[in-house]
Every structure is written in structure tokens, then in C-alpha cells.
Structure 1
Amino acid sequence: MDAGERRLHPWSWLFVLQQQIQQLLLPLVAVLVFGSRGDDDSLPYHHWITAAVIVAVLASALAQYWSYRYRIGTDTLSIRSGIFERTRREIPFARIHNVVVHQNLLHRLFGVAELRLESAAGDKPEAQMRVLKLEQALELERLIRHRGSAAPGVMVQEPAADVLLTLPLPELVRQGLISNRAIVVLAAAVGAAYQLFPRRAMEDVITQQGRQMFGYASQLQLGTPTLVITGLMVVLLALVLLRVLSIGLAIVQYHGFRLTEADRRLTVERGLLTRLRSSVARRRIQAWTLREGALHRLFKRRQLRVDIAAGGAAEKDGRALKELAPLAPPDTCDGLLQQLLPQIQWPPSQWHAVSTRGWWRLCLPALLPVAILTAVLTHETGAPGLLPLLWLPWSALKAHRQVSRMGYSIDAQRVAVRGGWWNRWWRIAELDKLQALRLDRSPLDRAFGTATLTLDTAGAFGAPPLQLRLLEETRARELLDQLGAELARRKLRW
């Protein structure tokens, strides 16, 4: 090993083993539980299969530890890995867009952390160093922040960080009440139970429990009003328990939340059990999104998210920095935008409305499923099957309100789009971050003389599209020419 090369932490193989076993947990449990059972005293073959898989995974984890080397250069990170097929990667610090320091309970017990370096391209991180001593991980993060200006092994003087936002306990309670994450956890638990146990066994358990409940209720000889009130109380209790669980999940996820800025780089730290620290340079942020649902408005809160030009895997596993303000008052969110984008006026002084002709087009997607559902229920139940038609007036009202709220604002520095009614959102992007422009016209657009102008940015995973919908065709073409000329001028300037 070269004098300048370093190994991962000596317990690194243990964490690789833990992750690989975690990925194979369900198949291994299925083999153990549902494998064929031997009639003799010999060890059943499915136990041998499980043991062989564990040994192979252990060997792979040890091989990864022994073959992994890294060297910290002045402005690059060099990584060597592999035994039979050897790989060497040179990663310039300037290419790294996002740095994630991840610590779960096991990491914190051993005083180590997983470091993840992400770039704008690809679905995989540029480097995933599992694991380093916590001090080494933070040192490497600081070196990357300063683009290798300090010599390897020398602690970089960390500039004073400005705390932009924290979430005290009352805000975490509000976040739990608004997000209602318990529904997602419950659905995942039910899905895992159906995967782990036979479907017939699950249905038998549900049927048996239901019969016991109804049998107990019939023994009490309760009247119909009492049964209805009892049922409503059970439903209400279930909703309360779900909300309490959602509050607990919010506390676990966002405990100790801190948004800080140092040297034009934003850092988010959060987590009670699993501690996550993610940082990104402000110039890497491609777009900004404000969200406000019905419950947000009830609590007078909003959410501020960002799109970062990082790989899609970073967005999927939840480690990318994307929530600058999971929950904050509207004035606080607007203040963050104005502070982090000082050259941009926010909120805009004027929003330009879109065409309201053919507003009913937005409720067309609901017609087909409602018609199918109504036909099926009517065939099975008769007149009560017409109840799904009550959704159509609501869908029409929502479509009309959405078109009334749609708007856009464009100036010399940024483009902003707003939409939604029941769940409202605002999207903001600097003109420098626009990648491409596209003008689309559907058959209905041609019938009503409208068009859709799409503005593409990098890193928009799961965010509302940056689209100017229902524009008058003439106005859409004017904006296309105007923004196209502006983008060409900026590229020539670069």
C-alpha cells in the first residue's frame, strides 16, 4: 500500500455485511420458514443454503474491505477497489455536488460514519465510503467544501456557520400532524406481512378476528345506534393513534434539525436514531419549490424543497439534501428564498394569468375511472352504485380553481410558476439553470388556441414540472423566443 493511501475503518466489513444481509433478509427468512422440512435428524437443505449465502456475503464484505484504498490529493480523490477486476477512479472535488455523512445507531456506537459523494450524472454516487471514522469523514467533507485547498491530513479551519432554521418540538408535532406518515408505514407493514406469510393465512387471521369482534358485539345485544356510535369511536381512536404514530415518526426523522450556511454552502443535519448530515453548494441548486397543502394552511405553514443536480439514487434513498424547510411559516420560507437568492425578488410583484378557456380539461382524467367504477357498482348494487358520480362536481370545482390560480412570472434573473388549489405549489428557477425549452400543443390545445411551455432543469425528481400551461399560443411562442435568445446569450457569455 502506498504511503499516501488509506484504508477504511477496520470494522468496515461489518457494516457492508449488515447492509447486504439486510437486503437479503426477506429471501433468507422465506427460505427458513417455507423451505422443505426434513423428516430425519439431519440439517434440512434450506439451512445449508442459508449458511452458504451468509458465508458468501461475509467473504464479499471482507474482500471489499481488503481491496478498498483511497488517497486524498490536492483537488482529487483517488479510489482503488476490486480483487480480480481492479478499478481505479479519480474524482475531482469540483465534480462533487453533494456530500452526505450518514450515521445510524450502529455507526454511532462504533464512532464511525458512512460518507457518500454524489455528482450530477448517473444513478450511483461517485463514491460510497462505508465506513470511516467520524473525524475522518468530517475532515474529508471539509476538504471537499474548500476544493482541496488544504494539504491532506490537515484540519481545515471551518468558517462560522449561520443557522438559518431549526425545528423545535412544537414544529415537529405539527409536521407529524400534517404529514401523516403512519399511513405509509402501515401500508408497508401490511405489504411486508403479505410477502412474509401466505396470503391464505393472512386472510384467515383477518376473517377470524372479524368474526370474534362481531360475535362479541352480538353477545352484548347492543342496539343499532349504539353499534354505530361504537364504530365511529373505534374509527376515531384509530385515526388518533395514526396521528400519534405520525408525530413519533416526525420526531425520529427531524429531531435536531438544523439548516446552516457557511462559505455559500448549505448543510442540513437531522435525525434522532439515524443521524444524517448533507451539504451542497448553493450554486448546485437547480430549482426551488414551495408546497402548501390544506393542513399546511390550517397550521399556517409551508415547505421549502430544492432540486439538486445529483443522481436519481440519491433522491430515492432519501439521503440527498432536498428539504431546506420541512415546515416553517410562510414569511420564514419567503425570507429564506430572499436570503439565499438575493438577486431575485420574492414574492413577485405581479403574476401573469393563463387562459381560462377550456378550464374543464383539467377534470377529464377523472371521468374515465369514475365512469368505470360507477358502471361496476351499478351492476352490482343498483342505484347506490351512482354515488361515485358525486365526485364529478368536486373535480369540476377543483379544475376551475386550479386554472384560476395558475400563473407565471419572468424577469431578467428567474422564472416562477405557481399552480394547484387544494394543494398549492410554487416553482422558482434561475435562468442560468435552465437546460432546455419545449413547446407542446395537444389536440385540445389546438382547439382552444393554447400551448404548454416546459422549462427543463436538472435534478427535478418528483417535483411539480416547471411548466407554463394553458398559455395563449402567441404568448407561448413569444416566451419561447425570448427565453431561447436569453439562454443562447448566457451560454456565449460563459
Structure 2
Amino acid sequence: MTPDSSVAPAPAPATATSADAERRLHPMSWLFVLVQQLKQFVLPLVALLVFGRGDRNELWPLIGVGALAVFSLWQYFTYRYGVVGDALVVRSGVFERSVRVIPFARIHNVALQQSLLHRLFGVAEVRLESAGGNKPEAEMRVLKLADAIALETLVRQRGRGAAVAADGETQEADLATPLLSLPPTEVLRLGLVSNRGMIVVGAAVAGASQFSPRLIPNLFETWGAALFGWAGQQHFGPPEYALAAISLMALFVLALRLFSVLLALLQYHGFQLSEHGRRLTVERGLLGRWRTSASRRRIQAWTLHEGVLHRVFKRRSLEVDTAVAEDQNQQRALRELAPIATPQACDGLIEHLLPAAGWSQLPWRPLPMRSWWRLFVWDVPFALLVTAALAWRFGGWGTLALLWLPWSIYKARQHAARAAYACSDELIAVRGGWWTRHWRFAELDKLQALQLTRSPIDRRCGTATLWLDTAGAGAWSPPLRIRFLPEADAQALYAALARTLARRRLRW
């Protein structure tokens, strides 16, 4: 879906009137609105048609479908958008008129989505998002692909012009600079190292529950009774039970990896990260295509991730948090700058996008090694409960679960040995994890709040935890915090960061 610059119309002049600039949605937009509305009714309608008993009353839901079709047509005939000066004006409704004026400087993210149906009709869905909202500023279903690309270009140009005027920076040429692309081999590696197969399992469970809430529990009960009955007939002992459990787990993991590879191919085929001036654009997808862009100024925090399989393939992933409206569909959000890449490529991206931060020269300071026991102590109650349950079921063999405790001690010591933090004039960074490692960092200008906390154990040990808050943090992102700091060091770092933030905000 690479845009051709020849099809993008020139931006409307600042003196254009709304009548001159107004445009309609695509003539087939009503069909896509209808499809979107019907998604939540697909499974019930299929169940009605397949398992219905021939009663005429079962056809009443089709009246709702007709009402949704009328609503879709109504939205097409009443929706207008246009450019007036440095703002986008969206008009909708007839009896209840709605006029929404959206300044280009307020639009932080532009997302273009193309499903397979969109690609067949040569159209795209456009979402314009801003920071601090729970829904997009405007959602256009659907526009011609050329119009969608032209609107994205216009938002990028006008938004950058406003940023240049505010920051006094030199305007850069609107040329796309490729930063990262993923060939098919890298996409396959991404599928192998990720756990996206759980999405397929979750979707299957949700779909099955639509037909019968008891379908999944009944299957587990039936299969469990059959497996344990067969195992009882074979007079399995604890070693045989353990081998059977390991075999079933291996099959489950293999199936998850196959699903993960399939999802990775569907979602990340043709992945390309490019730079347009001060905006970053990501385009990806096999059957459906997603194209989203956001200003580099809106990136709030960064996460560099490295799991066990990442290390096997000598790869990492780089994600960012952006200050845009919350969106349950993460495919539309600009989060993954590098879903998978070599450590050198990830470091190169960070150095390019944060040239003043000095990422490769950060002065890392390790946390006290003596705090390892505080990571270990939380595993003790869990290990004792599991051991008691297994000993009750299998007798003395169950006490083998206590072997988890030495492993927990080793794991806690490894976590404590890798934990560190770094602070420079531009950046604050935290390093953590051992089995699965992460680097979490943010520019000092993007910090929203500082909090110094001390638990009863902290007061006993003379330590403290410093929490650093940024906007747009993802629910699954590791926290930006520094734990187990000696109290004096924590107080000094807190005071230094507070003075730096106060100084910079006074300049604003």
C-alpha cells in the first residue's frame, strides 16, 4: 500500500471555505459501517440460521439488521469533512447537527486500516487520535485510498508546520526515510519468539462460549475423565504421570508456536518503519494492511525487550508508549518500532531517534546485591502450598516440589545481579529481569510525576522505591521504577529529578 505522491491532492489553502473544502465519504462507506455494526451479531445470527427450529419469530432479528443498514446509509449522506485554515472540520447529522473542529496541531496519531474487503474496494478506514482521550477525534469509514493518503499527508504537513512555529525548528523535507523493514525470515522468527498463539486460543474459547457457556468446561471434564481413566487402567505411577504431563505440555507449546507464526505472518508481513520529517510511520499486514503514524514528540517512554528465545536468535524488540487516545485495538496504535531486530539495529534506532540521550554511553549503576532475598521470599508460600497439595495426592513424591526453592534462590540472585538504573541529563533508564530481560527508559522532559515510597520492609532495610510516571503507559509494559535503593540515594535522586523538571517547566 505504498502511496503514490501523484494521487495526493494539494493541501487546501488557509483561506478555503468549508463549502469548498467539504468532501463526502466513499459511496460504499455504508457497507463497511454495516459490517462493523454486524460484527457483534455474526455468531448469534449464524447460530440462529444453522440451529433454528423454523419458528417465524426467529426472523425478527433480521429487522434489526435492516435498521442497521438504514443507519449506515444515513451516516453516509450526512457525514462531511473539510479543511478550514489549520483545522479539520467534521459535520454530521441532519435533525441533530454536529460540527467538530479539530486543529491539526491536536492530532497526534493518524491510523489507516485496510481489511481484505477494504483492499478489494480500494478504500481505507481513517482514525485521527489525540492525547488524553478515550476515543478518536474523528473516525472515517471509509475513504478512497488516495483520499486517505492525502488526508494523512495533509495532517502531517500542517501538524509539523504548527510544531515548527511553536518550537522554532527548521522545517524538514517531507520525504520518507526507511528506518527498518522485516523480511519474511524475520517475521517467522517473530512468530517463534512471541506468545501470540494465546490470542487464537482466547478467540476460540470466546467463540465457543457464544454457542454454549458449558461447552469448554464439558470438553475439559470429558477429556480429563477419559485421560485419567485410561491412566488408572494402566496403573500409572508418579513418574508416568510426570512424563504424560510433560508430553501434553510440549504438544500444547508446539501448537501455540504454530499459531504464533501464522498470526505473525498475517499481522507483520511487509512491516516497514519509516520517517517523514518528525513523524514515524509503520505499515504492515498480509491480508489486511495497517498504516499508523505519530509524531516523535509524542513518544513518552521506550521499552527494549529480550526473552529467552530472543537470545537464542540474537534478537530484541523495541516498543514505545505514545500519548494518544486509548484504543482496545492495539493493531492501530503506534507501539512497536521494531517487533524483532538485532541488538545493533535496536540500539541504532534509539541513537537515531534520541541523538542527545547518549544511549550507548549511559552510566549504569547496579542496585544492592543484598536485596536478592526480597525477590525470593515471595516464592516461599507458593512453593509450600504446591508441595502440600502434591504430597497429599502422591505421597513422598510430592515433596520433590521443594526443589523449586533452590531454583528460586538462584533466580532471585540473578535478577538482583542484573538490576540497575542510569540517569543522564536527558534520560532516565531502568534495567531488570533475567530469564526475560527488559530496559525501560524515558526522556526527563516526558516525566509526568515522581513518587518516593517506603514499605514496612523498606523502612526496616533502609531502602526506598522511586516511581516515575509517564503518559500513555501500556498495561503490559514493565513499570518505570527503581526498587531497593538505599534511602539516601533515593532521596538524592528524587530531589535532583524534581529540580530538573521544575527548571525545564519554568522555561516552557
TM-score range, shorter chain: 0.7 to 0.9
| Larger mean Cα displacement after TM superposition, 139-148 or 51-60 | 51-60
Q: Which residue pairs with 1:154 in the alignment?
A: none
Deviation track 1:388-440 (CA, whole Å, cap 9, x = no partner) reads: 43333323322221121111111111111111111111112111111111111
**What CA distance in whole angstroms lies between the structure 2 residues aligned with 1:278 and 1:306?**
14
The 5 Å alignment of 1:277-356 reads 277-313=291-327, 316-356=329-369
Q: Contact 1:97–1:310 at 8 Å: present in 2 too?
A: yes
Runs (4 or more) in structure 1 with deviation over 6 Å come to: 212-215, 225-235
Q: Which residue pairs with 2:208 in the alignment?
A: 193
Report the alpha carbon displacement of residue 88 of structure 1 after superposing the two structures with TM: 1.6
The 5 Å alignment of 1:316-465 reads 316-461=329-474, 462-465=476-479
Deviation track 1:417-467 (CA, whole Å, cap 9, x = no partner) reads: 111111111112111111111111111111111111111111111211111
Q: Which residue pairs with 1:184 in the alignment?
A: 199
The 5 Å alignment of 1:225-244 reads 239-244=253-258
Name stretches of at least 5 consecutive residues in structure 1 with no aligned partner: 151-156, 220-224
Q: Contact 1:413–1:431 at 8 Å: present in 2 too?
A: yes
Q: Contact 1:177–1:246 at 8 Å: present in 2 too?
A: yes
**What CA distance in whole angstroms lies between the structure 2 residues aligned with 1:353 and 1:226?**
45
- Are residue 55 (structure 1) and residue 72 (structure 2) matched? no
Q: Which residue pairs with 1:144 in the alignment?
A: 155
Q: Contact 1:74–1:149 at 8 Å: present in 2 too?
A: no
**What CA distance in whole angstroms lies between the structure 1 residues aligned with 2:31 and 2:81?**
19
Aligned amino acid, residue 158 of structure 2: R
**What CA distance in whole angstroms lies between the structure 2 residues aligned with 1:447 and 1:134?**
63
Q: Contact 1:113–1:132 at 8 Å: present in 2 too?
A: yes
Aligned amino acid, residue 255 of structure 1: H
| 3-state SS of paired residue (1:357) | helix
| 3-state SS of paired residue (2:370) | coil
Report the alpha carbon displacement of residue 129 of structure 1 after superposing the two structures with TM: 0.8
- Are residue 480 (structure 1) and residue 498 (structure 2) matched? no
Deviation track 1:311-359 (CA, whole Å, cap 9, x = no partner) reads: 2216x43211110001111011001101111111112343112233342
Q: Contact 1:451–1:476 at 8 Å: present in 2 too?
A: yes
Report the alpha carbon displacement of residue 372 of structure 1 after superposing the two structures with TM: 3.7
- Cα gap change, 1:364 to 1:185, in 2 (>3 Å): farther
**What CA distance in whole angstroms lies between the structure 2 residues aligned with 1:382 and 1:427?**
45
| TM-score with structure 2 setting the length | 0.85
Q: Contact 2:320–2:336 at 8 Å: present in 1 too?
A: yes
Aligned amino acid, residue 314 of structure 2: K
**What CA distance in whole angstroms lies between the structure 1 residues aligned with 2:82 and 2:143?**
13
Q: Contact 1:304–1:327 at 8 Å: present in 2 too?
A: yes
| 3-state SS of paired residue (1:146) | helix
Q: Contact 1:76–1:90 at 8 Å: present in 2 too?
A: yes
| 3-state SS of paired residue (1:408) | strand
| 3-state SS of paired residue (2:410) | helix
Aligned amino acid, residue 304 of structure 2: L
- Are residue 79 (structure 1) and residue 79 (structure 2) matched? no
Q: Contact 2:87–2:104 at 8 Å: present in 1 too?
A: yes
Q: Contact 2:208–2:215 at 8 Å: present in 1 too?
A: no
Deviation track 1:31-90 (CA, whole Å, cap 9, x = no partner) reads: 66677x4xxx751x2331x21221222222222222221111231111122344432211
Report the alpha carbon displacement of residue 280 of structure 1 after superposing the two structures with TM: 1.0
Q: Which residue pairs with 1:247 in the alignment?
A: 261
Q: How many residues are matched?
A: 477
| Larger mean Cα displacement after TM superposition, 177-186 or 417-426 | 177-186
1:162 to 142, 152, 177: 177
| 3-state SS of paired residue (1:120) | coil
Q: Contact 2:44–2:210 at 8 Å: present in 1 too?
A: no
Q: Contact 1:348–1:409 at 8 Å: present in 2 too?
A: no
Name stretches of at least 5 consecutive residues in structure 2 with no aligned partner: 1-17, 162-171
Q: Which residue pairs with 2:38 in the alignment?
A: 21
Report the alpha carbon displacement of residue 364 of structure 1 after superposing the two structures with TM: 3.8
**What CA distance in whole angstroms lies between the structure 2 residues aligned with 1:369 and 1:232?**
21
Report the alpha carbon displacement of residue 242 of structure 1 after superposing the two structures with TM: 3.9
Aligned amino acid, residue 358 of structure 2: Q
**What CA distance in whole angstroms lies between the structure 1 residues aligned with 2:492 and 2:506?**
21
**What CA distance in whole angstroms lies between the structure 2 residues aligned with 1:463 and 1:342?**
24
**What CA distance in whole angstroms lies between the structure 2 residues aligned with 1:200 and 1:324?**
40
Q: Which residue pairs with 2:222 in the alignment?
A: 207
1:132 to 134, 143, 154: 143
**What CA distance in whole angstroms lies between the structure 2 residues aligned with 1:393 and 1:334?**
35
**What CA distance in whole angstroms lies between the structure 2 residues aligned with 1:174 and 1:265?**
28
Aligned amino acid, residue 327 of structure 2: A
Report the alpha carbon displacement of residue 385 of structure 1 after superposing the two structures with TM: 3.9
Q: Which residue pairs with 1:466 in the alignment?
A: 480
**What CA distance in whole angstroms lies between the structure 2 residues aligned with 1:89 and 1:440?**
43
- Cα gap change, 1:419 to 1:234, in 2 (>3 Å): closer
**What CA distance in whole angstroms lies between the structure 1 residues aligned with 2:296 and 2:216?**
53
| 3-state SS of paired residue (2:361) | coil
Q: Contact 2:123–2:145 at 8 Å: present in 1 too?
A: yes
Report the alpha carbon displacement of residue 283 of structure 1 after superposing the two structures with TM: 1.1
**What CA distance in whole angstroms lies between the structure 2 residues aligned with 1:402 and 1:209?**
38
Q: Contact 2:362–2:424 at 8 Å: present in 1 too?
A: no
Report the alpha carbon displacement of residue 94 of structure 1 after superposing the two structures with TM: 0.5
| Larger mean Cα displacement after TM superposition, 67-76 or 1-10 | 1-10
